[in-house]
């Protein structure tokens, strides 16, 4: 080594004593050190004394510009005398003890670690080695090791590993020397290669000798030994070694000893160290098996339960919980197959992709679990790699951004020849209409040029299925077995439906088994009864209780009289039911007008077999032979006439619309909420505050299932996989469930404990996943009892249910009391990974995945109630048809409204297309010219069925557009609106969450839609292509969506400039020429709509989105203002609605505000340099967009939510556009005791 020349810093006196001594030491370096040993000892002893007694001396040595450290290290390297070496080591120890690690960093940077290892090796060759020298060397190495990234590699290459191990083996009883050796070993072991090498050297067994048996002596030594052992056991080889040595039971026994004896909780770190060792061993399957065999679940469960009252012990409880969840045997989802319970045969199967794989799956393949899930294998592929995060490179956040400049520049590419597109001219009559011969003073009835028959045709296409509307008898869960209209549940009796020759029904290859039906009818008021030729009974029987027993034959005869007058179709088959409950007239109801529901009456003419009696307990028990069909009663239930409260709602029209709705399971029941309607509550519904420890307590209850299996009922109470009899009768000891109505989704229910139920959701049809949307009915509840519901097959790795969102509940008793509304409900809500294995078939090829549980608890306020639960406010296809029918009735002579049928869906349902604008003032050329040349706005919604909030926003838009306000009139004057309010009717009808009947996400088909498999997308795109061809591309295209993982309402748009800014591609200024107009609409919305958040908007084009509507319309049709508008399913964290959950009122308001924003946009686009009206470019773009780290755009992986006191075992992905691609990498992060571990793999496939 070249001799360093002693330098002094300005301001340090050159006659400083310590610097003079260092200068003397510097001159002695090299051979002089060996010759003049005594002087070297004296000089180093003096320096040590100065540093120990004067704080300034140490500062002088370590000050900036001083070469003191180099001199000391050079002397250390050249010293051959043990005492001199020790003195220098003492000096270094003193220097490095202060300075918060900065001095250790300097020491490492000057090569100090290597010199220490050299001395360690040479000292080890002395026999016997100097104990004091070894002690000081290891103490110093323990200090600097954590600061040296290459420490492990240097130790291994220099041979220091073996020196330390040999020293350990020889000094197991010498605690003074043992402690620093263990401290160094702890640092060595953090390097995975070293850990394996140490394991081969027998260090794992050595550590167990140090930590066992239980003793309270030398607790600091024990703590370090456990840390070192924990680090060693991160290696799977070492973990196997520990298992083979039978050490799992030793660790558990030790943990139990410490748990019992550490009553004052002074040794929590030792207990934590033992748990970390167990946690690392259980990262391998062999370790998990050994843990279970050693009764580890019971040990940790009992000890954790005893720790619960002490908040400071939370780190122990959290780690114990993590270990137990990991070791909980993976269960099979209780299903025969993960494919949907409903089958729809596609006209042709795509050549590739998940649907093709589904159809090519050989019969008999178990797609619920993988065979390898239960195999013992050394090649462990588990995803519990939280401990190896530091060795993995994280995915960069930006690798989904489109970097191909050619793709970033919109190319108007209509794609199809105009001859093919000319057929779409008929959807644009308004562009050629001349209104000649039109009387502009005429009545409303003549105001539309070409009124389509969308609603009437769909309503009149009556299927042969009887439609079942709610009735008083549905409120009677606790009844004796009764017979259904055709005499029972025996599937051999009769047929379910008689197809009508005129009904356009899809032709699936195999006959579907329709589900059971509820048979009832209602009549509204006296005048409406006369219109329907329904004589009203002379007296309405009203009782004060819904649970009064039947009144016998008199009422049955009264009912027959009513039925004789009904003639909805040619025939009415009647079978009276016994055991109906009497109606109740509610006093003090806020709604004065009532409608009378008469029971039971058929609305389809042909009754169907009622198999099993759904959740509302209509019909018979399974297997009933219909012996008790003699008496029945015509209970009359007075319910509020919600048509007065809801201008667009009419129960009678709704029932008519249901008749024209075709579903795969051939639903023939009507759910109460869809029938009665929803009146938004006037009270606020704040985000639910998360209770500390709620997730942990739920997980512990799940673990109890394994520890106390005898307490588990495991009783199936509802199962769609038994199509003949989904509701399983049980003498009133269980709740009753039903989901057999439009948009319903619930596949199976298992009663786990007396008041706890596991719920399994149905996959989307022709798919094996997408479980998120639910909508089901519950009855048979007891008042005041707290019930727990667990939806056990959720797939997303996080949910807003962890951040304040509640489920929705609709009470029929509340509705008939005049409060027909969905309300947010549920306590103890959380969402966490469970122990149900997800097969690689379901997880896109990935093995070792689990499902997630969404759990909530609730109680019921009314006896004999029927309640409905939903993921979000339901909005069915029949509801849309009813709303469109009512909108037609609202039209004034000044409104141009046309309803066309764009196409038929795969399932045979009609996809409506609306045209809304203002009638021209007259048929003069000027007025006609203004009419035809209005810019177009193209809106669509509900491509994803589970995003019902999109329909509520669309409802707000439609109502505003059809309104009488001056703003609405101006808007109609300004634009022609083309609206497809529901792009995926089949998915909505059949209770899908994301797909159509083709089993594909329709918002990923825009690049190349198939006219047979994706008709709504194909024809909607064709409309836009036609407009592009005739040079009338829309000014704005907006697709309404819902977002499940973010709050507020926001937009995704497309911008070349912002995409380039967020990527590393180089682009010329000409590449970045772009009109900033794409930001105008969201900017306006952020100023006028309280739920809208500009900060959540993103205008970046991602590769994974290139086949979405937003990107395709921007790129191919050339619409600069092409957006996805995302509305939260949860609530808002900014603005007027901050801290509140979102409701239909806010969603409809958002739809109306979107219209107002378009009006403002019209004023801006009338001026050439409209961006100047939105302030300067810097204000529009906002400084945050230019820096990736602080960007609020969607693709930056950052925590969207505040962390809770309690760790949640996965990261909240702020950058998700709700994607669930089939091969998606999910974030799988597990609970650690003090913090959230980083995600193990980025989830970068997000969505529009």
Catalytic residue numbers read 1126
Phi and psi at residue 900, in whole multiples of 5°? -115, 160
Q: Which 3 state secondary structure label does DSSP give 1180?
A: helix
Q: In what order do the strands lie in the sheet with 636-640?
A: 521-523, 594-598, 636-640
Buried b (16+ CB within 10 A) or exposed e, 1118-1144: bbbbbbbbbbbbbbbbbeebeebbbbb
Buried b (16+ CB within 10 A) or exposed e, 1165-1191: beeeebbeebeeeeebbbeebeebeeb
Distance CA 866, CA 597 (A): 15
| Contact (Cβ atoms closer than 8 angstroms) between residue 628 and residue 481 | yes
Buried b (16+ CB within 10 A) or exposed e, 346-358: beebbeeebbeeb
| Contact (Cβ atoms closer than 8 angstroms) between residue 760 and residue 381 | no
Q: Which 3 state secondary structure label does DSSP give 1134?
A: coil
Q: Which residues contact 1179 (CB under 8 A, 6 or more apart)?
A: none
**Could you tell me the two tokens for 253?**
């026994």
| Contact (Cβ atoms closer than 8 angstroms) between residue 180 and residue 142 | yes
**Could you tell me the two tokens for 1008?**
């190349």
User: Could you tell me where the DSSP H helices lie in 446-575?
Assistant: 454-460, 526-531, 553-564
Q: Which residues contact 890 (CB under 8 A, 6 or more apart)?
A: 647, 962
Looking at residue 794, what DSSP letter applies? Answer: E
Distance CA 911, CA 889 (A): 20
Residues in the chain: 1248
How many Cβ atoms from other residues are within 10 Å of residue 261's Cβ?
A: 11
**Could you tell me the two tokens for 785?**
């009892």
| CA 991 centroid distance within chain | 18
Please name the residue that has the structure tokens 């609409």.
Answer: 1081
| Contact (Cβ atoms closer than 8 angstroms) between residue 980 and residue 1017 | no
| Contact (Cβ atoms closer than 8 angstroms) between residue 632 and residue 577 | yes
Looking at residue 1044, what DSSP letter applies? Answer: S
User: Could you tell me where the DSSP H helices lie in 856-941?
Assistant: 877-890, 925-932
Peptide bond into 1157 cis (omega under 30): no
Peptide bond into 292 cis (omega under 30): no
Q: What is the 3-state secondary structure (H, E, C) of 1081-1128?
A: HHHHHHHHCCCECHHHCECCCEHHHCCCHHHHHHHHHCCCEEEEEEEE
| CA 953 centroid distance within chain | 21
Distance CA 1173, CA 1154 (A): 19
Degrees, nearest 5: CA angle 1205-1211-1215:
125
Phi and psi at residue 934, in whole multiples of 5°? -65, 140
CA torsion through residues 169, 170, 171, 173, sign: positive
Rg (the chain; Cα; Å): 37
């Amino acid at each position: 080594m070249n001799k360093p020349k002693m330098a002094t810093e300005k301001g340090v006196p050159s006659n400083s004593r310590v610097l003079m001594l260092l200068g003397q030491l510097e001159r002695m370096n090299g051979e002089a050190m060996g010759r003049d040993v005594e002087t070297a000892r004296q000089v180093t002893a003096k320096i040590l004394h100065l540093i120990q007694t004067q704080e300034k001396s140490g500062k002088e040595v370590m000050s900036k510009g001083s070469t003191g450290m180099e001199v000391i290290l050079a002397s250390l390297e050249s010293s051959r005398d043990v005492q001199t070496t020790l003195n220098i080591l003492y000096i270094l120890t003193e220097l490095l003890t202060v300075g918060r690690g900065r001095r250790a960093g300097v020491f490492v940077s000057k090569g100090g670690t290597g010199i220490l290892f050299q001395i360690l090796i040479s000292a080890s060759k002395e026999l016997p080695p100097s104990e004091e020298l070894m002690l000081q060397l290891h103490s110093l190495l323990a200090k600097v090791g954590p600061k040296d990234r290459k420490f492990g590699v240097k130790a291994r290459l220099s041979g220091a590993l073996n020196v330390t191990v040999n020293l350990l083996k020889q000094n197991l009883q010498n605690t003074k020397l043992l402690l620093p050796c263990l401290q160094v070993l702890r640092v060595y072991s953090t390097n995975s290669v070293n850990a394996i090498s140490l394991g081969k050297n027998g260090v794992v067994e050595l550590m167990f000798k140090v930590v066992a048996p239980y003793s309270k002596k030398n607790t600091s030594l024990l703590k370090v030994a456990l840390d070192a052992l924990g680090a060693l056991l991160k290696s799977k080889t070492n973990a196997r070694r520990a298992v083979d040595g039978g050490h799992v039971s030793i660790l558990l026994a030790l943990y139990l000893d410490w748990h019992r004896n550490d009553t004052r909780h002074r040794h929590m770190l030792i207990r934590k160290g033992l748990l970390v060792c167990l946690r690392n061993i259980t990262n391998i399957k062999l370790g998990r098996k050994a843990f279970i065999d050693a009764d580890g679940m019971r040990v940790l469960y009992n000890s954790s339960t005893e720790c619960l009252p002490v908040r400071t012990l939370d780190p122990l409880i959290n780690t114990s919980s993590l270990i137990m969840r990991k070791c909980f045997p993976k269960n099979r989802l209780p299903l025969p197959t993960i494919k949907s319970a409903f089958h729809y045969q596609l006209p042709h199967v795509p050549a590739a992709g998940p649907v093709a794989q589904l159809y090519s799956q050989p019969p008999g393949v178990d797609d619920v679990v993988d065979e390898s899930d239960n195999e013992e294998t050394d090649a462990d592929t588990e995803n519990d790699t939280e401990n190896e995060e530091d060795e993995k490179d994280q995915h960069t956040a930006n690798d989904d951004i489109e970097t191909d400049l050619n793709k970033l520049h919109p190319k108007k590419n209509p794609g199809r020849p105009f001859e093919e597109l000319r057929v779409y001219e008929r959807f644009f009559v308004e562009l050629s209409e001349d209104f000649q011969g039109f009387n502009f003073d005429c009545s409303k009835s003549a105001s539309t040029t070409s009124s389509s028959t969308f609603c009437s045709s769909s309503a009149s296409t009556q299927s042969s299925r009887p439609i079942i509307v709610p009735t008083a008898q549905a409120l009677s869960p606790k009844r004796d077995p009764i017979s259904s209209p055709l005499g029972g549940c025996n599937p051999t009796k009769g047929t379910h439906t008689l197809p009508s020759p005129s009904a356009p029904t899809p032709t699936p290859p195999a006959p579907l088994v329709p589900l059971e039906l509820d048979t009832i009818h209602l009549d509204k008021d006296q005048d409406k009864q006369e219109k329907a030729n329904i004589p009203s009974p002379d007296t309405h029987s009203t009782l004060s209780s819904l649970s009064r027993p039947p009144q016998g034959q008199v009422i049955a005869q009264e009912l027959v009289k009513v039925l004789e007058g009904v003639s909805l179709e040619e025939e009415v088959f009647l079978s009276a039911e016994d055991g109906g409950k009497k109606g109740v007239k509610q006093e003090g109801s806020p709604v004065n007008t009532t409608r009378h529901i008469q029971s039971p009456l058929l609305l389809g003419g042909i009754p169907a077999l009622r198999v099993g009696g759904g959740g509302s307990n209509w019909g018979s028990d399974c297997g009933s032979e219909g012996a008790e069909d003699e008496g029945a009663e015509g209970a009359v239930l007075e319910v509020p006439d919600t048509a007065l409260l809801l201008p667009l709602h009419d129960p009678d029209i709704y029932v008519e619309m249901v008749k024209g709705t075709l579903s795969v399971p051939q639903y023939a029941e009507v759910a109460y909420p869809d029938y009665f309607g929803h009146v938004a509550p006037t009270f606020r519904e704040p985000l639910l505050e998360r209770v500390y420890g709620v997730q942990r307590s739920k997980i512990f209850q799940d673990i109890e299932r394994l520890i106390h299996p005898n307490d588990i009922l495991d009783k199936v109470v509802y199962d769609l996989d038994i199509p003949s009899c989904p509701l399983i009768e049980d003498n009133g000891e269980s709740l009753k469930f039903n989901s057999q109505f439009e948009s319903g989704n619930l596949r199976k229910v298992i009663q786990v404990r007396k008041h706890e139920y596991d719920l399994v959701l149905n996959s989307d049809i022709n798919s094996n996943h997408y479980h998120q949307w639910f909508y089901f009915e519950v009855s048979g509840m007891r008042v005041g009892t707290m019930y727990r519901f667990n939806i056990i097959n959720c797939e997303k790795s996080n949910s807003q249910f962890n951040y304040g969102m509640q489920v929705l509940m609709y009470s029929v008793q509340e509705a008939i009391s005049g409060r027909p509304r969905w309300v947010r409900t549920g306590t103890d809500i959380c969402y966490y990974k469970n122990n149900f294995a997800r097969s690689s078939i379901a997880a896109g090829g990935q093995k070792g995945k689990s499902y997630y549980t969404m759990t909530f608890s609730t109680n019921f306020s009314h006896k004999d109630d029927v309640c409905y639960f939903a993921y979000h406010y339901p909005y069915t296809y029949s509801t849309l048809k009813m709303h469109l029918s009512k909108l037609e009735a609202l039209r004034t002579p000044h409104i141009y409204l046309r309803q066309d049928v764009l196409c038929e869906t795969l399932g045979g349902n009609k996809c409506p297309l609306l045209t809304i604008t203002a009638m021209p003032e007259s048929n003069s050329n000027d007025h006609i010219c203004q009419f035809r040349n209005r810019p177009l706005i193209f809106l669509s919604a509900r491509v994803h069925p589970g995003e019902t909030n999109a329909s509520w926003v669309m409802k707000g838009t439609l109502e505003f557009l059809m309104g009488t306000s001056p703003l609405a009139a101006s808007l109609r004057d300004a634009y022609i609106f083309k609206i497809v309010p529901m792009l995926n009717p089949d998915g909505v009808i059949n209770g899908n969450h994301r797909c159509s009947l083709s089993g594909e996400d329709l918002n990923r088909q825009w690049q190349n839609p198939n006219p047979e498999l994706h008709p709504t997308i194909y024809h909607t795109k064709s409309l836009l292509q036609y407009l592009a061809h005739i040079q009338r591309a829309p000014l704005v295209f907006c697709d309404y969506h819902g977002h499940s993982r973010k709050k507020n309402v926001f937009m995704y748009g497309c911008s070349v400039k912002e995409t380039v800014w967020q990527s590393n591609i180089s682009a010329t200024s000409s590449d970045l020429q772009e009109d900033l107009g794409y930001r105008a609409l969201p900017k306006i919305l952020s100023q006028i709509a309280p739920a809208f958040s500009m900060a959540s908007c993103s205008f970046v084009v991602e590769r994974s989105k290139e086949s979405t509507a937003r990107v395709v319309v921007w790129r191919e049709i050339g619409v600069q203002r092409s957006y996805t508008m995302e509305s939260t399913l949860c609530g808002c964290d900014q603005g007027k609605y901050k801290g509140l959950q979102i409701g239909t009122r806010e969603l409809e308001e958002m739809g109306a505000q979107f219209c107002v924003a378009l009006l403002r946009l019209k004023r801006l686009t009338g001026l050439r340099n409209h961006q100047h009206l939105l302030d300067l470019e810097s204000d529009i773009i906002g400084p945050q967009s230019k820096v990736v780290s602080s960007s609020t755009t969607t693709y930056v992986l950052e925590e969207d939510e505040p962390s809770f006191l309690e760790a949640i075992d996965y990261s909240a992905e702020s950058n998700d556009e709700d994607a669930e691609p089939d091969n998606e990498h999910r974030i799988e992060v597990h609970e650690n005791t003090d913090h959230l571990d980083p995600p193990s793999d980025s989830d970068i496939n997000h969505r529009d």
